[in-house]
Chains A and B, each alone.
Chain A
Amino acid sequence: MNKQNRQFDDRIWQAIDQRLSAEQWEQFQDELVNNLQFRDAYLKALRLTQALTELANTIGTSSELDSTKLADVAREIHRSPTHNTSRRYSWVPACLAAVAAIVLLWLAGSWLLPWSGRAGTEPAPFASTSPAEQETMLSGHAVLNRSVNVPWSEADAIYFPGDVLPGGEFHLPGGVIELDMFCGARVTVEGPATLVFLSDWVLEVRQGRLKATVPPVARGFTVQAADRRIVDLGTEFAVLVEPDGASVSVLDGEVELHSVGDPPRLLRQGDRWNLAGANTDDELVQSIEELEAALADGTRQALAREAAWEAASRTVEEDPRLIAYFPIARVYRDGQHGFSAAGPAAGSIEALLVGPVRSDWNRFGTQRTALEFQRLGARIRTHIPGEFSALTLACWARIDGLNNRYNALFMADGYENGEPHWQVRDDGRLMFSVMVDDSQKIEFFNERDQRVVRDAGLHRVYFTEPILDVSLQGKWLHLAASYDPTNRIVRQFVNGKIVSEHTIEPKFLVRQLRIGNAEIGNWGQPFRKTSWFAIRNLHGAIDELAIYGAALSPEEIAAIFEASKPAAY
């Protein structure tokens, strides 16, 4: 639900609960008179509350609600995440996660992680840290599998393969997508198209052409078009809806055509049926072949994109400022125990996979060379010798969840003088820091925790605003941070754009930077005095880490992003 819709519908709830001011009440009435859709929405909402009242009053005498002493309600409210003191952010696993994202966004009203507990952010009633008590809810009926040549506009939502598409109306501006309905039907759609996801089983087509492939488990999948219902009986069929006509064509198996007032009509393989207006049949079948071709074209595009990146990457590695460069797709093959750096350090810098590092599809979707650190012992260790007068770190990262308070991207082991730490905090802020003086013990008031905290060593953490919200979860992002002592500036970047810029105060200025032993995707703490260690493994994957002994300019970072991004960006 977009922001406007939310405001739209918040006003409805406020009206029902008598929370509008006199002026808002007048506006609300105007809307009711002039906007049929709004009036309809208001009455639906009102009837929901009427139904709830009716149910509450009848169930009220039964045991279920009797146990709802107000004290219980209070406990439940206090157990909800807004009151949770541990504030751990738990993105639910695998496929549910993406779906949760939609709902959380929808619920949250804020683009920040919704239950971060700061004043001004709205609570999310669902997300829970204790799954046994509460369950995360979601809204959506289909997952996007592939997309080819879709001209997503920045103003609308952009969807990536693997994203759950929200319920309700969905507009595809162009190109071709393949989506899986939750019921199992696979639908290929050509844009421009307007679809309405009505349920896991029902898809309405208002405009556009689509092909549905329905395996036996999804039998009963229904497409609504031109006031008819096309109920699938295990088959493959195509539907075209244009302003001047609509038709259905059965490619394989059978479908049943339902229309109001008529008995269902059975259509068999090869049958075509005009649903409305002009005859569009021939065009329809032909267009289906085009759809298939477009999808195949998508795979070719991904491969071409990767090949282009590979060529660009060979230019990148000639940059003399590179200290270490790990174009994993080029230097690593699934199953290997480690890989060597490319570029100037080739032959001298190695990276070693330690523990359960797993590989997953890279950002192009072509090979399994993205390395994941989901399990807490997983890490890639490396050693980078030398001293540098500036630093730039850049990588592609896919962050599936901010499960830990701090989530490691690239961390120097000891965090000694001049060593960098690059991580993501659980509220979605990127953090880049360099140790200034590790011999000092610093006490400071932590606003977030509202208490005085002791910190080992004088250092300064440069935070971005919270940028990793749930909408970016599971998506490949190009992240970069540069530390420039000459100009006393720290910059951080996401997808080639500056997201934060900080001046380095004299007290925190470090001119000699080092790395030494370091880890990708986790934090090794070799000097700790107990067996206990901080859990900072990244729930996600990293690809193509590049470390420069210089501060790259914003233009250079943007160029690196452009040259290495996958097709959909």
Chain B
Amino acid sequence: MVQTPGEEAANPADDPTYQHFVRLIVHSEPAIRRFIRSLMPSEVGVDDLVQETALESWQKFSHFLSTRTEEKEEEEFLRWALTIARFKVMSWQRNRNRDRMVFREEVIEALAETAAASEPEWKEELAAVESCLQSLPPAQRRLLLAVHRSGDSVSRIATETGTPQRKLYAQLYALRRILLDCVQSRLRGPLAHE
């Protein structure tokens, strides 16, 4: 996953700095990925940007090490990496604003702020989605999962099942709304009734 530019060590795995970096990046990678996706109009390009961010983080890792405070290293690293990610996303979209629908710079700025702030809640959110998903009838649950599985798409499922796309989207949106409502109410749930 990370292409090290390390020159000193013949085998980078032996480099303690590199091992340090790997530990941090492995821990942060899912959050970086979610953050990048939040600033992108679709999945397209997200993988590449995660790679680029990781690479640049490694290239500038010594700078990070010189400025960090010891205590909350993981949190600090993530914050730092997200800043790098944000610039990567901006330049990616700047380079493509002629040939496809991308976000304007001011949109990315606005989204970045909100997206970074909500990151710490991810685990709770995921748990809430999972339990809300369990409360759906099995058929609806399977439909939702099938549609969101990487590599699958509504249009493919529509074609293969002979369902009009419009209809499938309408079902999908209704199900997502229900789920979102459930997740929101779970996250705001009462103190006394966990």
Contacts and interface: CB of A to CB of B under 8 A. Distances in A.
Contacts of B183: 48
Contacts of B110: 32-33, 39
Given A57-B150, A198-B188, A258-B191, A25 B137 contact: no
B138 to A, nearest CB: 8
Interface of A: 1, 9-10, 13, 15, 17-20, 22, 25, 29, 32-33, 39-40, 43-57, 59-60, 64-65, 67-68, 70-74, 76-80, 82, 103, 106-107, 109, 122-126, 133-135, 137, 139, 141, 167-168, 198-199, 201-202, 219-222, 229, 231, 258
Interface stretch (B14-22, B37-45, B51-59, B71-79): B37-45
15 contacts: A13-B169, A19-B169, A29-B107, A43-B118, A45-B180, A46-B38, A56-B145, A56-B148, A65-B142, A80-B139, A106-B177, A123-B170, A133-B139, A137-B137, A199-B185
A162 B114 CA distance: 40
> Most A CB atoms within 10 A — which of B111, B144, B173?
B173
Given A77-B143, A125-B170, 7 more contacts: A18-B42, A48-B176, A51-B126, A55-B148, A60-B149, A82-B167, A201-B193
A44 B184 contact: yes
Interface stretch (B61-69, B84-92, B98-106): B98-106
A33 B110 CA distance: 6
Contact of A65 (B126, B146, B150, B181): B146
Interface string B157-175: 1001111000111111111
Contacts, number: 189
B66 to A, nearest CB: 33
B32 interface: no
B156 to A, nearest CB: 8
> Most B CB atoms within 10 A — which of A71, A73, A221?
A73
B94 to A, nearest CB: 15
Interface of B: 34, 37-38, 41-42, 101, 103-104, 106-107, 110-111, 114-115, 118, 122, 125-126, 129-130, 133, 136-137, 139-140, 142-146, 148-150, 154, 157, 160-163, 167-181, 183-186, 188-193
Summarize B's interface: helix, strand, loop or mixed.
Answer: helix
B163 to A, nearest CB: 5
A70 B178 contact: no
Contacts of B189: 199, 201-202
A73 B110 CA distance: 38
Nearest to B175: A125
Contacts of A229: 191
B163 A77 contact: yes
A55 B46 CA distance: 18
Contact of A52 (B101, B144, B163, B185): B144
Contacts of B142: 64-65, 67-68, 72-73, 76
Contact of B125 (A10, A47, A122): A47
Contacts of A73: 142-143, 146, 157, 161
A201 B188 CA distance: 10
